[in-house]
Amino acid sequence: MIQVFILLGAAAAMIVVDSLSRKVGIREGGGIFASMALFSTLILLWVEASKPPQVTTYRVFGSESPLTASLKLDPLSLYLSMIFCGIGLAASIYSIRYMELERETGLDRYYLLLLTLVAGMIGVTLANDFFTLYVFWELMAISSYSLVSFRKWSWEAVEAGFKYLLMSSIGSLMALLGIALLYGLTGSLGFDVLKAALASGRSPAAHLSLALIMIGFGVTAAIVPFHSWLPDAHPAAPTPISAVLSGVVIKTGVYAMLWSLFKVFTPQVYGFGWIIMGLGALTMTFANITAIMQSDIKRFLAYSSIANIGYIITGMGIAAHVAANYSGEFRIVALALAGSLLHILNHALGKGLSFLSAGCYIVRAGTREISSLGGIGLKMPATTTSLGIGLLNLAGIPPLSGFWSKLFIASAGLGILSDISLIAVTAVFILNSILAAGYYLWFLQRIVFKRGAGGYSSEINEAPASMLAPLIALAATSILITIMLNPVIDFIQSALGVLLG
């Protein structure tokens, strides 16, 4: 609750803090201040998470329920906001040196937007009614449009930013229209009131509103066919922002879909699991095939993000499908959702690591082409080790935690052997995982071993220490989660308790 307001307060103070610290000769004042705000938010979230799991709600304005706007704090929102805040913190520390090396200006606005972006993402997970969710959603969205077009001297950023703004704001408006329909149907927007009112019966208006909400949030989650902004927007942003956008911002779309599917529209009443499952299979297949053809390192990673969203969506779809059609199979629903939630964490860490390592190469070599980066890995061993851990985690190589999340989703899909559609989707999922593991390893091999590319000067050295620090922290977190998987799974189970009741 207070976590959002720390970030918003720090964002409001950013311009003053930055100009004051410049007056006394500290150029990095803004970045240090933003990192401190994100760090204290992370600590506060950690303190909340270490308490026994409970659900707390706060009223923001309006009269008593149902006519109210309110916030909640439960294990699911804590889990996601800690991921969001952690990746935001890593990007913020990384930005201090990166933005200096890239000679970017206007850094006070940059850190302000980074703080409002993270505040918006945390707010989305804390919202307890659709309108609060929409307000924080737009806070997040407007910050990310501005950050994508931050390097406005380059045509790529401006063009990608405009495309992103157009597609994403039409998507948000579709979601808002669906929300308005729900308000007209039930007279409230609180999630619990909506769930009770919508579970009693189906109506065409409720189905239309479900479709509009799924399309709206699906644009931000970059589900095929609403993905085409992502491969342009994510590479065009400054690299730390690419890590935040690709690692966590698209996850807010997944969260909003997950919450609407399970906490607003009951899966047993609205049978939609097979649509989500099919979209997930389409998304990962399309993105994996397209990713192989990319020659730009950041576009390659962006397409791999779409593929990973496909895995998460597939897990969600399997859960919704099983919940709708097989009422006794509660364990399979929980297993599929646990796999999706764990994969949200794994992908955030893995994609954060890969984008931040790619940023180190880009700064040192001055190019984004994979073919001219061949062999650079051996010259920057610490960066390459982090990149390797991130990519192996994404590829799902055992014993890293990326393996377990994919195993959960696959074994949930194979839980009911008589259902052809489940088996088919799981087969597509496993094939895609193998394909993805193949191209991650191929990519790593090219970065490390391919000699004589010559796209960079021969005497480049390791990235600066303050850029390596967040990389090593994220890599250590990946390994720590692999070792201590049980507490993480326990926490995910208490989050599932919120989701499934």
Partner 1 sequence: MGPHELYFTASLILIIIGIYAVMSKRHIVKIVIGLELLTLGVNLAIATTGLRIIDGVSHVDALAQSMVAISMAIGAAIAALALSLAINIYRHYGTFDVRKLRRLRW
Task: List residues near partner 1 by CB under 8 A.
Answer: 61-62, 67-69, 131, 134-135, 138, 142, 145-146, 149, 152, 155-156, 158-163, 165-166, 169-170, 173, 176-177, 180-181, 183-184, 228, 231-232
Cβ proximity to partner 1, 35 vs 260, nearer residue: 260
CB of 202 to partner 1, least distance (A): 20
Cβ proximity to partner 1, 74 vs 108, nearer residue: 108
CB of 213 to partner 1, least distance (A): 13
Cβ proximity to partner 1, 125 vs 132, nearer residue: 132
- Dist CA 43 CA 61 (whole Å): 27
CB of 109 to partner 1, least distance (A): 13
| 22 CB neighbour count, 10 Å cutoff | 15
Query: What is the separation, in whole angstroms, between the first and last Cα of the chain?
Result: 22
CB of 298 to partner 1, least distance (A): 13
Cβ proximity to partner 1, 176 vs 277, nearer residue: 176
| 375 CB neighbour count, 10 Å cutoff | 18
CB of 372 to partner 1, least distance (A): 18
Residue that the structure tokens 């922290």 belong to: 473
Can you count the helices (H) and strands (E) in the chain?
Answer: 19, 2
Cβ proximity to partner 1, 159 vs 329, nearer residue: 159
Burial 429-458 (b: 16+ CB within 10 A, else e): beebbebbbebbeebbebbbeeeebebbee
Q: Residue 354 in contact with residue 87, Cβ under 8 Å?
A: no
Cβ proximity to partner 1, 163 vs 450, nearer residue: 163
Give, in degrees to the nearest 5, the angle at Cα 118 between 116 and 122: 115
Residue that the structure tokens 């994403």 belong to: 168
Q: Residue 132 in contact with residue 60, Cβ under 8 Å?
A: yes
Residue 456 zone, left/alpha/beta (φ > 0; ψ -120 to 50; rest) = beta
CB of 218 to partner 1, least distance (A): 17
Length of the chain: 501
Cβ proximity to partner 1, 102 vs 156, nearer residue: 156
Q: Which long-range contacts (CB under 8 A, 24 or more apart) does 98-107 make?
A: 98/238, 98/239, 98/240, 98/359, 98/363, 98/467, 99/31, 99/238, 99/240, 100/27, 100/28, 101/363, 101/464, 102/238, 102/363, 104/150, 104/151, 104/238, 106/150, 107/18, 107/30, 107/31
- Dist CA 391 CA 290 (whole Å): 18
What one-letter code names the amino acid at 380?
M
Beta strand 56-62 with 68-73 is: antiparallel
Burial 464-475 (b: 16+ CB within 10 A, else e): bebbbebbbbbb
Cβ proximity to partner 1, 231 vs 470, nearer residue: 231
Cβ proximity to partner 1, 1 vs 181, nearer residue: 181
Cβ proximity to partner 1, 155 vs 457, nearer residue: 155
What one-letter code names the amino acid at 27?
R
Q: Count CA atoms within 13 Å of residue 105 on its CB side.
A: 2
Cβ proximity to partner 1, 45 vs 113, nearer residue: 113
Cβ proximity to partner 1, 71 vs 82, nearer residue: 71
CB of 321 to partner 1, least distance (A): 31
Q: Residue 260 in contact with residue 214, Cβ under 8 Å?
A: yes
CB of 222 to partner 1, least distance (A): 15
CB of 497 to partner 1, least distance (A): 30
CB of 146 to partner 1, least distance (A): 6
CB of 255 to partner 1, least distance (A): 20
CB of 127 to partner 1, least distance (A): 13
Question: Which tokens belong to 8?
Answer: 């918003």
Q: Residue 362 in contact with residue 445, Cβ under 8 Å?
A: no
